Chains A and B, each alone.
Chain A
């Protein structure tokens, strides 16, 4: 037990101290939060300087309406832009455009809007600017012109704007999700949460499986194994390593979960400051789903990591490992490709059957649980099958590992590996 602990500790510390771990665990969320923050700050530039634009209206009728629509809706929110000057009338000269272009070049204007004669009959308005990427400005202008034109057309036909809005009002389709705990409004957050969880499972199973393989292979190629096997039993070395990597995975999960909740709180604050009217329904993941996520990850990880460890023990070089890891990685990839089948009907016979297959269940059963909680007996049956398979695979892998770690040179044939299983 003491040896297992020592091996666990060495492996865990060695992993956690690597640059790769620090970068992927700590830097990634920080970077993510940082990028969002920078985007918000840059996007909220109007808080600093309000862009000045000019309007040249050849119709001579639309300019006041456009100006009105560009004014802030509520007194406290910032204006989208400031209208420096307005030129209206059908008698405008052709040199107006080039004059204003010069002003834009000199930096006195952000841009200018041209409303052509035929704007009311379908002619396109033009907005000339150096910075065509300022999406919030251009979309506001587009909307303002649009509304001004529509109002004008309505007025010509004698229809009041309020009546029109009344007639054209949308009907909402609310998605209501039926769950065991009652009903909750659905705006896609369930699917997103399920997909994120399944993706995390897939990624970590693959990543930490490959880490396990690499770690075994490294002890082989550096020949540390020679001295290690004289100090601890192969089963202790293997168990210590697999548990250490599982702990590293949980450390990473923990840091990510913490930073995700911090990030959520942070983004709420940012969102509120930018646009109080937009509401995103919070993603709520029930505690039971999280518990299943952990249990399925752990069991699935034991299954895959022991197979990857066996691969690492079988080979003596990175190249051979690349080739031989394929059969182990394949079921993981297939389980992700089966997402589509499950999402269409999480409770179809096919979905139920697929989530029972031990090599798929770590990803697919969790996906199902998150989408539409299946009956408890299905979850437990799937877990039992997975655990039994994992136990068998661990037993075989440990045997392969025991023999393989001291074999160097040529990659063993499948027949040889089967023979290893029979060694005492």
Chain B
């Protein structure tokens, strides 16, 4: 069964069409990436899922039934713009938000303590939100999204503001929830996170889907047209305009996107001629980052 299914959903604000004929479906228990440049219509789409906005056309099904006023209770939401009542105690905020989603206050209280303990905030349970650091508030807000054990979890940039340790903890929890059957919708601009976690994606631009499907299949369809190279020495050998379409350096490695029909061996030859030592030379699928840039710039061209 699909956890979420959108059929030709359209939403207009006066003359602006924020989302146009958007269709996608997310199988239960999978991580889905909703991607797109700023202003593409991601937030509008998420708000329609949570019934904050009602689509002008098309239909939305959640857990097999058409979306209605009870739908939001099945969804946990971590908005991109974080914020909680600054003068309320952590426990009170969490119990309030979970009770709104349908938990009894006793259940919510027990759950809140367990989660706070797990995220090492146990001693802060009766502190005010104001007294917390940004990172701690971030974690409390994450708890608010998952506390009522929603079958569907929408996370908008879940890792911003978290140190690597905490980001790792949150990532582990997300994968654990997925394994327990939750469906996760991840909206982010960080493509490496998408590659790490998502089973399928939908890339939208100007409210329209421009790329959708299983992540592996998408990457395969773009073919192995990228060479990942690590080397020591002068990088001038990469100055091969008839072979190299684009260079993308990250850290020690450089991703070289090949021109269509170009032979990767020519790069090796050039390196040998320059006397550069190659420590890694691997034909890889294009990074999602490159696919994103290529797709978005080609639709805007």
| Contact present for B72 and A230 (CB under 8 Å) | yes
Contacts of A153 in B (CB 8 A): none
Looking at the complex, which of B31-39, B77-85, B157-165 is the stretch in contact with chain A?
B77-85
Please tell me if the beta carbons of B100 and A232 are within 8 angstroms of each other in the complex: yes
Question: How many residues does chain A have at the interface if contact means C-beta atoms less than 8 Å apart?
Answer: 21
Q: Does A224 contact B (CB under 8 A)?
A: yes
Contacts of A406 in B (CB 8 A): 47, 52
Tell yes or no: A284 within 8 A of B by CB.
no
- Determine whether the beta carbon of B54 is less than 8 Å from that of A424: yes
Asked whether, in the complex, the Cβ of B81 is within 8 Å of the Cβ of A223, the reply is: yes
Bound-complex Cα distance A231 to B73 (A): 7
Q: How far is B56's CA from A222's CA once the two chains are assembled, in angstroms?
A: 30
Residue of A nearest to B43 (CB): A406
B72 touches A227 (CB 8 A): no
Kindly state whether residue A1 has any CB partner on chain B within 8 Å. Answer: no
Chain B residue contacts of A228, Cβ below 8 A: 100
Contact partner, B84, options A222, A231, A423, Cβ 8 Å: A222
Q: When each residue 82-104 of chain B gets 1 if its CB lies under 8 Å from chain A and 0 otherwise, what string results? A: 11111110001000110111000
Q: Which residues on B sit within 8 Å (CB–CB) of A159?
A: none
Say whether, besides A230-B72, A231-B97, A224 and B50 are in contact (CB < 8 Å): no
Binary contact readout A150-161 vs B (1 if CB under 8 angstroms, 0 otherwise): 000000000000
> What separation, in Å, do the CA atoms of A14 and B86 have in the docked complex?
11
Asked if B243 is an interface residue, CB under 8 A from chain A, the answer is: no
A3-B100, A6-B100 known; A227-B141 Cβ under 8 A? yes
User: Given B13, B50, B87, B97, which contacts A14 in the complex, CB threshold below 8 Å?
Assistant: B87
Is B50 a contact partner of A227 (Cβ separation < 8 A)? no
Q: Is A169 an interface residue (CB 8 A)?
A: no
In the complex, which residues 42-78 of chain B have their Cβ closer than 8 Å to any Cβ of chain A? 47, 50-52, 54, 56, 69, 72-73, 75, 77
In chain A, what residue has the closest Cβ to B50?
A230
Distance of A222 Cα from B13 Cα, bound (Å): 25
Is B14 on the interface with A (CB-CB < 8 A)?
A: yes
Which of A3, A14, A226, A229 contacts B85, CB < 8 Å?
A14
Q: B54–A227 contact, CB under 8 A?
A: no
Q: Which of A3, A230, A231, A423 has the most CB of B within 10 A?
A: A230
In the complex, the answer to whether A226 meets B79 with C-beta atoms within 8 Å is yes
Mask for A218-251, Cβ within 8 A of B = 1, else 0? 0000111111111111000000000000000000
Residues of chain B lying within 8 A (CB to CB) of residue A229: 47, 50, 52
Question: In the complex, are the beta carbons of B87 and A231 less than 8 A apart?
Answer: no
- B3 interfacial by beta-carbon distance below 8 Å: no
Q: Does residue B184 face the partner (Cβ distance < 8 Å to A)? A: no
Q: Quick check: is B155 within 8 A (CB to CB) of the other chain? A: no
Q: Is the CB of A230 within 8 A of B81?
A: no
Contact of B99 among A6, A14, A225 (CB under 8 A): A6
B72 touches A231 (CB 8 A): yes
Picked from B52, B82, B145, the residue with its CB within 8 Å of the CB of A223 is B82
- Interface residues in A395-424 by Cβ distance below 8 A to B read 406, 419, 423-424
With A6-B100, A227-B144, A406-B52 known as contacts, the answer to whether A233 contacts B69 (CB < 8 A) is yes
Residues on A with beta carbons closer than 8 Å to the beta carbon of B86: 222
Residue of B nearest to A225 (CB): B83
Question: Are A230 and B77 in contact (CB-based, < 8 A)?
Answer: yes
Contact of A227 among B13, B92, B97 (CB under 8 A): B97
Residue of B nearest to A223 (CB): B83
Measured CB to CB, the nearest residue on chain B to A234 is B52
Q: Is A10 an interface residue (CB 8 A)?
A: yes
Q: Chain A nearest CB: distance from B70 CB in Å?
A: 11
Interchain CB contact under 8 A, B47 and A224: no
* Complex CA–CA separation, A225 to B47 (angstroms): 12
Residue of A nearest to B13 (CB): A423
Which residues of chain A come closer than 8 Å to B92, judged between CB atoms? 10
- The answer to whether B77 touches A222 (Cβ under 8 A) is no
Q: Mark B192-218, 1 if CB is under 8 A from A, else 0.
A: 000000000000000000000000000
CB of B144, distance to nearest CB on chain A (Å): 7
Considering the complex, give the chain A residue whose CB is closest to the CB of B86: A222
Known: A230-B77, A231-B101, A406-B52. Contact between A224 and B72, CB under 8 A? no
Point out the residues of chain B lying under 8 angstroms from A6, CB to CB: 96, 99-100
With A222-B86, A232-B100: A227-B52 Cβ-Cβ less than 8 Å: no
Q: Find the B residue at minimum CB distance from A18.
A: B87
* A222 and B85 contacting across the interface, CB-CB below 8 Å: yes
Q: How many whole Å from A354's CB to the nearest CB in chain B?
A: 40
In the complex, the chain B residue whose C-beta lies closest to that of A419 is B14
CB distance from B130 to the nearest CB of A (A): 10
> CB distance A227 to B14 under 8 Å?
no
Q: Given A6-B96, A14-B88, A231-B97, does the pair A224, B83 have CB atoms closer than 8 Å?
A: yes
The docked-state distance in angstroms from the alpha carbon of A230 to that of B100 is 10
Measured CA separation A191–B145 after assembly (Å) = 57
Bound-complex Cα distance A123 to B14 (A): 88
Whole-angstrom CA separation of A10 from B87 in the bound complex: 12
| Docked CA distance A229–B72 (Å) | 9
**Smallest Cβ-Cβ distance to A7: which chain B residue:** B100
> Which residues from A are CB-within-8-Å of B83?
222-227
Please, could you name 25 A-B residue pairs with CB atoms under 8 Å apart, sorted by A?
A3-B100, A6-B99, A10-B88, A222-B84, A223-B81, A223-B83, A224-B84, A225-B83, A226-B77, A226-B79, A226-B80, A226-B83, A227-B79, A227-B84, A227-B141, A227-B144, A228-B100, A230-B50, A230-B52, A230-B72, A230-B75, A231-B73, A231-B100, A233-B51, A424-B54
Chain B interface (Cβ < 8 Å from any Cβ of A): 13-14, 47, 50-52, 54, 56, 69, 72-73, 75, 77, 79-88, 92, 96-97, 99-101, 141, 144-145
